[in-house]
């Protein structure tokens, strides 16, 4: 499905569209990805910074595709666990996610990544566990 979306054969998932997901670079052999998000004003909390749930969703939409880009046709990988660390406030604007497959087994994969602000400094980091399944 990842490559079908990239080729324009199918539309991106609605959640990715809401987050303003954009592929910057992917290296399936290395298990790495870089994506960008459009963090909109609608994502802010009462003090004007991006609400943590949106940052977590962005990290999930960074780490997951790093793995999904390596899968065979007919496979998908739901997230089993996502651990997010919020490092500093994120403001509306472009945020960049960098993710990687840390270790991949037959059925389980361990992922890690970060979300950086326009100044290149991390606003949040995450680790995740995903289960590789067949449709």
Is the pTM higher than 0.85? The answer reads yes
Taking the C-alpha atoms of residue 83 and residue 102, their distance in angstroms, rounded to an integer, is 15
pLDDT of residue 135: 86
The partner residues of 36 in beta bridges, in order of sequence, read: 22, 96
Task: Map out the domains of the chain with their CATH numbers.
Answer: 13-134 (3.10.129.10)
Confidence of residue 114 (pLDDT cuts 50, 70, 90): very high
Mean pLDDT within 107-119 = 97
Instruction: Express each pLDDT in 65-77 by its tens digit.
Output: 999 999 998 899 9
pLDDT of residue 65: 96
Length of the chain as a residue count: 135
pLDDT of residue 117: 97
Instruction: Express each pLDDT in 3-58 by its tens digit.
Output: 888 888 888 899 999 999 999 999 999 999 999 999 999 999 999 999 999 999 99
pLDDT of residue 112: 98
CA atoms within 13 A on the CB side of 133: 8
Asked whether the beta carbons of 123 and 88 are under 8 A apart, the reply is: yes
Confidence of residue 99 (pLDDT cuts 50, 70, 90): very high
């Amino acid at each position: 499905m990842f490559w079908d979306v990239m080729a324009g054969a199918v539309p991106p998932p609605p959640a990715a569209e809401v987050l303003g997901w954009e592929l910057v670079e992917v290296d399936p052999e290395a298990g790495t990805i870089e994506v960008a998000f459009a963090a909109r004003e609608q994502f802010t909390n009462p003090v004007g910074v991006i609400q943590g749930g949106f940052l977590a969703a962005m990290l999930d939409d960074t780490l997951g595709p790093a793995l999904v880009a390596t899968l065979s046709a007919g496979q998908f990988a739901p997230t089993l666990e996502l651990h997010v660390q919020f490092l500093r406030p994120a403001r509306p604007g472009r945020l960049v996610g960098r993710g990687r497959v840390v270790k991949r087994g037959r059925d389980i994969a361990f992922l890690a990544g970060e979300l950086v602000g326009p100044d290149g400094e991390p606003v949040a980091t995450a680790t995740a566990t995903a289960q590789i399944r067949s449709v």
